[in-house]
Structure 1
Amino acid sequence: MAESKEETDKKGGYTYWKRDIDDAHLLPDTRPQKIDGATQQDVKDVKDSVGSSWNSAGTWEEKDMSVPARAELEKILTDESFALLDEGGNKVQGFNATVTGDSQAYHIRGRSRLGYEFKVKLSWKGSFGGKEVSGELDIQDLDSSDLDGFDVRPKPKNADSKSAAEALKKGARPAVKKAAEMLSQRLLARSG
């Protein structure tokens, strides 16, 4: 037999957790509280961390890091101190980089790792064989799981740059691999 509305109202209704009780004052206040003193840096530190504070067991977590990872790799590749090729008086550097793709930060068994799959377009210039050289460089598959398996495809802008482009096919690979390792170190140090 169903209860009438009056009987339900007398008992406090079907929402028992909303009823008035004699010992309600013992329960903690659950109303939202404004957090004072949280600076923008505090919020950024929490936002950039890989592992959660609740995950003391170190189980699997992942976080999208595409935007900061792309920006950081572009910064590394175009830094004045970073050279794609620097040997025997020849020096070639990147000056304009565009990185596309995805990146994830993983926290697995208490360790943080950075995974990514990027495509890189980089403009380069410098001196090679006593001549000013320039061109473009493409990397189609810069993948964190296979840092030895990417191809560097340099394109010279003029005839004087052809020999530099040939040297970059093999010579730029260690530099790009070093840039990828620097990327992982910087982002994980920031989030750790």
Structure 2
Amino acid sequence: MENGVAEGCKQSSSYRYWVRESTDSAAPLPVPRKLSAEDLSKQEPRAKLGSAWNHAGTWEEKNLNTWATGRIKELLNSLDSLEFSGGKASISEVSKCTGDAFLVTVRNKKRVGYTYEITLDFKGEWLIKEGKKTIKGSIDIHEFSFGELDDLQMEVTLKEDKGLSEEGRQKIVKDVRLFLPLIRNNLSKFEEELKDR
């Protein structure tokens, strides 16, 4: 016994564990050959994504903020007015629309995404216990991202709500929340357009 290893148990080369020994039955290795112009013309051209300089399609990021911000404002400014029992309301403007939108080409595959925050100003008339009131306010939607529209949350703030009872205030907020499905629908259109960029 040499150095604690029994004779006959020595391995000759353990680092070649996964190397396949060549045998007569193994298939021969393919021989490389140069493609002719005819061979190249038969191949289907690969669709190129991204810039001309990025032939391999490895990584390229394109900023879409200008287009996205303008398009979100356009879609949300075009929301229909809401009519409900005892009143109506409409979006007067998109007062805040901040965030990032991007197109990334990775390994010749296109991926899009965005993260935004918006504030919509609204104006409406309500017939409540205190009488007919013209109310202005805002709808805040904090940080929403691509594919998360089902989880969209909104916060309604009333301006100049002096003289309103708590019951009247709650009715107005509840009515304004009816804008959420309309907002979600228009932001879904935005997502579809973003995918096609």
Q: What TM bracket, shorter-length normalisation?
A: 0.5 to 0.7
Q: CA deviation at 1:177?
A: 1.1
**CA displacement, residues 81-122 of structure 1 (integer Å, 9 cap, x when unaligned):** x13745557542222212011111245788755411111111
Q: Which residue of 2 aligns with 1:35?
A: none
Flag structure 1 segments of 5+ consecutive residues without an equivalent. 1-50
Q: Which residue of 2 aligns with 1:68?
A: 67
Please list, as runs of the form range in 1=range in 2, the aligned pairs for 1:1-192 lying within 5 A after superposition.
Answer: 51-52=49-50, 54=52, 61-79=60-78, 82-83=79-80, 85-87=82-84, 90-97=87-94, 98-106=96-104, 114-129=112-127, 131-159=133-161, 162=169, 163-169=171-177, 171-189=178-196, 191=197
CA distance in 1, matches of 2:146, 2:98: 14
Describe the shift of the 1:119–1:84 C-alpha distance in structure 2 as closer, same or farther (beyond 3 A): farther
Under a length normalisation based on structure 1, what TM-score does the superposition of the two structures give?
A: 0.56
Describe the shift of the 1:56–1:128 C-alpha distance in structure 2 as closer, same or farther (beyond 3 A): farther
Higher radius of gyration, 1 or 2? 2
Q: Which has the higher contact order (CA 8 A, sep 6+)?
A: 1
Under a length normalisation based on structure 2, what TM-score does the superposition of the two structures give?
A: 0.55
Match of 2:150, SS? coil
Q: CA deviation at 1:126?
A: 2.8
Instruction: Check the 8 A contact 1:116/1:144 in 2, yes or no.
Output: yes
Partner letter of residue 74 of structure 1? Answer: K
Match of 1:173, SS? helix
Instruction: Check the 8 A contact 2:152/2:184 in 1, yes or no.
Output: no
Number of equivalent positions: 138
Aligned-pair RMSD on alpha carbons? Answer: 3.4
**CA displacement, residues 11-57 of structure 1 (integer Å, 9 cap, x when unaligned):** xxxxxxxxxxxxxxxxxxxxxxxxxxxxxxxxxxxxxxxx4265799
State percent identity of aligned pairs: 24
Partner letter of residue 121 of structure 2? Answer: S
Instruction: Check the 8 A contact 2:156/2:173 in 1, yes or no.
Output: yes
Describe the shift of the 1:58–1:125 C-alpha distance in structure 2 as closer, same or farther (beyond 3 A): farther
Describe the shift of the 1:184–1:92 C-alpha distance in structure 2 as closer, same or farther (beyond 3 A): same
Q: CA deviation at 1:127?
A: 3.5
User: Which protein has the bigger helix share?
Assistant: 1
**CA displacement, residues 57-85 of structure 1 (integer Å, 9 cap, x when unaligned):** 97765421112101211121112xx1374
Q: Which moved more, 1:67-76 or 1:87-96?
A: 87-96
Q: Which moved more, 1:64-73 or 1:178-187?
A: 178-187
Q: Which moved more, 1:105-114 or 1:176-185?
A: 105-114
CA distance in 2, matches of 1:127, 1:111: 50
Flag structure 2 segments of 5+ consecutive residues without an equivalent. 1-48
